A and B are shown apart, each in its own frame.
Chain A
Amino acid sequence: MIPLSFYLILSAAFFSIGVIGVLTRRNAIIVFMCIEMMLNAVNLSFIAFASFFGDSSGQVFVFFVMAVAAAEVAIGLAIIIALFRNKLTINIDEINILKW
């Protein structure tokens, strides 16, 4: 059986990749995808814990997180489209009429 720590390290690695992506990429959609990756990395640790403990509440949590992530996608893309219609760009560096 694969030990729990392997899953946790994998999930931590995914999470870090997501964080680095958010901090370095400038396209709003890609930043958003990196955020989704952070959420999914967390899901991985939830599932790993849940199956390790034999406790179902961690798995239930994952379903809730997926639902929230879906809602976030709906709202996030709508917001980004609204910005694109006015500004014709989704590069975060160019979104600067308010001082960033």
Chain B
Amino acid sequence: MEIKSLLNILPILIISLSILILILIEAFHKKSEIFIYWITILTLIFTTFLSLITIQDQSLNFHDTIESGGITNLFYSLLLIISSLAVISSKNYLNRMQYHHGEYYILVMSAILGMMLMASSRDLMLTFLALELMSLSFYVLAGYHRKVLFNNEASVKYFLLGAFASGFLLYGIALVYGAAQSTNIIYITREFDSLLNKPLFTLGLILLLIGFSFKVASVPFHMWVPDVYEGSPTVVTALMSTSGKIAAFSALIISLYGSTASQINYETVSKIIALLATASMLLGSIVALTQTSLKRMLAYSSIAHAGYMMIGVAAANKIGMAGIIFYLAVYGFMNIGAFILISMLETSMEKRLTLDDLSGIYKTYPWFSAVMALFMFALSGIPPFGGFFGKYYVFISAVKADMTWLAVIGVISSVIAAYFYLRVVIYMYFRREGENQNLYATAAENFIITVCVLFVIQLGITPGVFLNIITRFLP
């Protein structure tokens, strides 16, 4: 019985084991970072295949604590593919910053372990531990270059606000436990309707939501996003803005719906989520208009995207759930592409890229600007690319759940957001050439960008394929 459970959670075990091995290698060998880099990538690729192969056999392990197979493995493979893209790009970036050390990969791997546990956890205790594992690794990664003040500052802000938010999350869990007498998510979601009569439970749920809203970077805990995204090393930003969001949303979806999606009727909570979604969409899109720093602009756009995804959570129906997962996948690929393109222009960690640095860049680097324009179109949701269908499914779910107003606000905010995405394109193509820019492109970066472009286009041209896969595994 327990042996079978261990076999079922093999992807998690492999990642954990490789972390331990990497720590030993790092401790006993000087200059082992290249070696560690390759081991990390091979482990990630192997685990991705493993979780794709075992996607069919769904089961609950260790007394309903960890789920394996099905939607969990879908999340695994999504997280692993996107994180490995970020890892592949790290080597050149860190070499250029002259701060390439083995512990970077160890920290990234433990963050990935936390994210995978978040996606598979069916117990609030494990969810909390996994979330902390991910966050603690990210706090350190945000301040990875400890001699650069930007990194220090990002990491202090991230740490203080993150710990503050996990206090709220924990208090929420405590109250939910007090009302339900159990921390098991499957049990709690089964008893949802009767529990909602208890004020303690509703309060706990709201605190839980506030705590999660920090991790998914939506209102009310969004203040950290621009500062941390801008201050951290760009490869780390790429990782935490994509995989971090996917993991946090998976945990949010699971703790609200458990395994019994779409039968729950919870109006108060749904209204609160709708409000959070509205606030993050509008705030993200409007404040991004005033930003000139590229990473800061993408950070506000990330807040807005969290808002769009929250629409799917608020709608609480099957198409909403499938829409969120689809959106997360597309968002992951286009955002990681955009951040890695930005990282290719960076010469040092102190330099912050602004829109002016992109002006007229299409003359020197036509491919760079074409791909950047593609990601910007995709992020703003222009039809032939995947971003459009992500938004489409989420809005449809809101209309089906009788929340048409939410979809309308979503559309309005996408229109506002189009302005600042297209402004990047305008700077690249219609401004006079600025100072000479250097583009540090190697085979690794070209590979990642190609993968991202292919996925974004593929998800935009044949969205049904991926959507069918998602709906097949949804309960």
Taken together as a complex, chains A and B put the C-alpha atoms of A79 and B152 apart, in Å, by 7
Taken together as a complex, chains A and B put the C-alpha atoms of A19 and B22 apart, in Å, by 39
The interface residues of chain A lying within 8 Å CB-to-CB of B178 are: 8, 45, 49
Taken together as a complex, chains A and B put the C-alpha atoms of A49 and B177 apart, in Å, by 8
Interface residues of A in 44-100 (CB under 8 A from B): 45-46, 49, 53, 55, 57-58, 60-61, 64-65, 68, 71-72, 75-76, 78-80, 82-83, 85-87, 92, 95, 97-100
Chain A minimum-CB-distance residue to B184: A57
Determine if B163 and A76 form an interchain contact, defined as CB atoms under 8 angstroms apart: yes
Q: Mark B112-146, 1 if CB is under 8 A from A, else 0.
A: 00000000000001001100100010011001001
- A: contact size bracket: 35 or more
> Distance in Å from the Cβ of B213 to the closest Cβ of chain A?
16
Q: Mark B249-280, 1 if CB is under 8 A from A, else 0.
A: 00000000000000000000000000000000
Determine if A61 and B149 form an interchain contact, defined as CB atoms under 8 angstroms apart: no
Determine if A35 and B226 form an interchain contact, defined as CB atoms under 8 angstroms apart: no
Determine if B153 and A98 form an interchain contact, defined as CB atoms under 8 angstroms apart: yes
Chain A minimum-CB-distance residue to B145: A82
The interface residues of chain B lying within 8 Å CB-to-CB of A99 are: 226-227
Determine if A68 and B154 form an interchain contact, defined as CB atoms under 8 angstroms apart: no
A interface: dominant SS: helix
Chain A minimum-CB-distance residue to B146: A82
Taken together as a complex, chains A and B put the C-alpha atoms of A95 and B150 apart, in Å, by 10
Determine if B149 and A86 form an interchain contact, defined as CB atoms under 8 angstroms apart: yes
The answer to whether residues A83 and B160 also contact, given A65-B170, A75-B140, A100-B227 and a CB cut-off of 8 A, is no
Beyond A68-B129, A98-B153, 12 additional contacts (C-beta under 8 Å) are: A15-B167, A35-B163, A45-B174, A57-B177, A57-B182, A65-B128, A75-B139, A87-B152, A95-B157, A97-B149, A98-B231, A99-B226
Q: Residues of A at under 8 Å CB distance from B?
A: 8, 15, 18-19, 22, 28, 31-32, 35, 38-39, 41-42, 45-46, 49, 53, 55, 57-58, 60-61, 64-65, 68, 71-72, 75-76, 78-80, 82-83, 85-87, 92, 95, 97-100
